[in-house]
Structure 1
Amino acid sequence: MNGFPGSAPGRVLAFAAHPDDIDFGAAGTLATWAVEGTEISYCIMTSGDAGGFETAGREDISARRNAEQRAAADIVGAGEIHFLGERDGFLAVSHEVVGKAVELIRQVRPDVVLSMHPERNWARIQASHPDHLACGEIVTRAVYPAAENPFAYPELEQGGLHAWKVPWLVFYGAPRERENHAVDITAQVDTKLEAVRVHASQHPDLPGMESAVRSFLQENAARHGLPEGTSAEVFHVVGVNTPATIAGF
């Protein structure tokens, strides 16, 4: 899409509101890139403390969900995970959290930033948890203009974390009218489902979940004109600093 790399990017920084969001939204694509040598980092913004279905053991749910995310990332082929520890259900767009995202972007210096989408999906509101929307807005503000402006968050520049121009911002969980890129993940569907299954604290009906995910992936492929029998993850790709973009406009 608009020159979006056909080959695997060198470095990817993937943001999510909760543990398991990345695996539902983009694990197949990330696993595909990892096999091709992409260096992948995660940032999980909340502790997931409001997740799960059991009343017992609530004091351990955040640690359990973080461990699940680490195990799932290992399956996908991701490396470092950053846990911001914001309260689940209360993620807010603030300069403090935007600054944390800017700091990570300047540390990792990714070719692609992956994020949840900031727009509500009225066709499937379950994709638009308020934390998801906040994650998308936080990351968008961090990517442009803050990460590339040396005078934004000057303490980072003074500490040696210099401005970084992100080439591509890629959203998962986008409303259908925003989708403009599909990735054939047929070869990685089993890897994706293995990663999703790790989040056992979130699955009261494992067979139902797997059936639904397979169906969604096949519908994605059909909607984007891929061959019958294939599976796809779909994205809203935004070029931020590419040969086709003009800085300052």
Structure 2
Amino acid sequence: METFATQVHSPFDPEHHRIERVLCFTAHPDDIDFGAAGTIAAWTAAGVQVSYCIMTDGDAGGFDPDKREEVSGLRNAEQRRAAALVGVTDIHYLHQRDGYLEPSHEVIREVVRLIRQLRPDVVLSMHPERNWTRIQKSHPDHLAVGEAVTRAVYPALENPFAYPELAEAGLEAYKLPYLWLFAGPEERENHFVDVTGQVDGKLAAIHVHASQHPDVDAMDRTVRTLMLRTAERGGLPAGHSAEAFHVVSVNGPGTIAGF
């Protein structure tokens, strides 16, 4: 997968760090497709195992007031179809209520549980900081995902005495190498992935979420334009498209152990 890092040096060097497994956390069905489906498609094409964890059922989404009881099932089905288009079949749900998500210990414990089960090289999550340039990226549930995952990754994930019931169940403490965050403030971006070859696949995945997009053409134009602008911010050649991340080295060569 082709990657590009800005002058604000990314701690992730694809030439020296091999990714074999990735676990992605988002708030709602469709969040991951808008934020990272191009990168995910490139990963799975290269043989990387990618799993999703969607924290809510998306029950507050959609536009039809007469079909509220059907929304969760519909969005679940949309997410599975969209995921399959970018090579992902392993999807987990925390079944939190849409619009009410909080970084509670209940949620953090479940995040720790899943990371310890899958032991990924990269956890990819929504960003815990608000994006004031495009506040639509910063739905309160999005921020809650970022906060819950960040708290889970350090220190609970690697502390054998945090949530001791997990260790008792055989889920041993785990030191995560990298945390990749998306949808945060532009000034936090330090890693850009050139997904020019995955634009159509990303849009195909987004199109599956038909229940959320009354104006497909406008959505298409907006996503394409944003990806071109992201590539410009990352210094990629004109006409390229990119997805941007804030990459954090959680446990690297210089990490000092301790809680």
- Match of 1:78, SS state, is coil
Residue-pair matches, total: 249
Q: Which moved more, 1:181-190 or 1:53-62?
A: 53-62
Does residue 2 in structure 1 map to residue 42 in structure 2?
no
- Match of 2:237, SS state, is coil
**What is the match of residue 182 of structure 1?**
192
Which amino acid in structure 1 is aligned with residue 225 of structure 2? S
Aligned Cα root-mean-square deviation (Å): 1.1
Looking at structure 2, the residues matched to 119 and 220 of structure 1 have their Cα atoms a distance apart, in angstroms, of 18
> 1:1-249 residue pairs with structure 2 within 5 A?
1-6=10-15, 9-248=19-258
Which amino acid in structure 2 is aligned with residue 2 of structure 1? P
Kept in 1: contact 2:30–2:206 (CA 8 A)? yes
Moved over 4 A (4+): none
Kept in 2: contact 1:39–1:79 (CA 8 A)? no
Looking at structure 2, the residues matched to 175 and 248 of structure 1 have their Cα atoms a distance apart, in angstroms, of 29
Looking at structure 1, the residues matched to 39 and 18 of structure 2 have their Cα atoms a distance apart, in angstroms, of 10
Looking at structure 1, the residues matched to 149 and 243 of structure 2 have their Cα atoms a distance apart, in angstroms, of 20
When normalised by structure 1's length, the TM-score is 0.98
Cα deviations across residues 76-128 of structure 1 (Å, max 9, x unaligned)?
A: 11131001110000001110110000000000100000000000111111110
- Match of 2:124, SS state, is strand
Kept in 2: contact 1:8–1:33 (CA 8 A)? no
- Match of 1:142, SS state, is helix
Cα deviations across residues 48-80 of structure 1 (Å, max 9, x unaligned)?
A: 000111112110000000110011110011131
Looking at structure 2, the residues matched to 4 and 171 of structure 1 have their Cα atoms a distance apart, in angstroms, of 16
- Percent identity of paired positions between Structure 1 and Structure 2: 63
Gaps of 5+ in 2: 1-9
- Match of 1:56, SS state, is helix
Looking at structure 2, the residues matched to 67 and 38 of structure 1 have their Cα atoms a distance apart, in angstroms, of 23
When normalised by structure 2's length, the TM-score is 0.94
Deviation at 1:247, TM superposition (A): 2.5
Which amino acid in structure 1 is aligned with residue 224 of structure 2? R
Deviation at 1:2, TM superposition (A): 1.8
